[in-house]
Amino acid sequence: MLSGLYAVTPDLDDTTELLRRVGQALQGGLRLLQYRNKPAAAALRREQAGALLALCRAQGVPLVINDDLQLALEIGADGAHLGREDGDLAAARAALGPGKLLGISCYDDIGRAREAKRVGADYVAFGSFFASPTKPAAVRAPLTLLGAAKAGLGLPVCAIGGITLQNAPQLIAAGADLLAVITDLFEAPDIRARAAAYTSLFSERVTP
């Protein structure tokens, strides 16, 4: 069962700095990493993804690639995370094969989440739940969607969008298994400590 801090990489051209920040987050206990760098050229994205995969493998943490199934397949990543414009979900599931993670962005759409489950997604993501500096125009999702998806789908549920250490507890209480965080994690003065603080929120969760 996927659960915990789900770090999404910031847009950095400096691969050394990217690896430094991700390394600190790994030390703090993150459970899943998504490589996302939409503005970067293809060659840089492949370089960074490969370097991150080696770093994550050393720590036993899965790496999934955002919006680029082909890159995930090329480097042998642990999976892919796909949005609305990223192709046929069933074809992606078939291409990844068994044992690889497939995550699907569902925004505020429970119907898309049901389709994701039907084709074999490993988790579904909803949001934005709060104002997000990464996607300021993103559609907002209600907190109640987390509980409804958790009860109705039987899949791990991820929350994304404007998440901070302050608002994270209400997302976990509403049913989020994974918290996808970019800015509040990677712009923190102490990334390792911030990751550890998020991780502790999950250890404090009371299971009914």
Residues catalogued as catalytic = 36, 105, 135
Q: Return d(Cα 147, Cα 162) in angstroms, integer.
A: 19
Element (H, E) at 207: none
Burial class from Cβ neighbours inside 10 Å (0-12, 13-18, 19+) for residue 148 reads middle
Return phi, psi of residue 81, to 5°. Answer: -120, 125
Contact between 195 and 24 under an 8 Å Cβ cutoff? The reply is: yes
Contact between 23 and 55 under an 8 Å Cβ cutoff? The reply is: yes
Q: Which residues contact 59 (CB under 8 A, 6 or more apart)?
A: 26
Name the nearest CA neighbour of 163 among 190, 196, 207, 198.
198
- The Cα-based distances of 116 to 91, 170, 203 in angstroms read 12, 25, 28
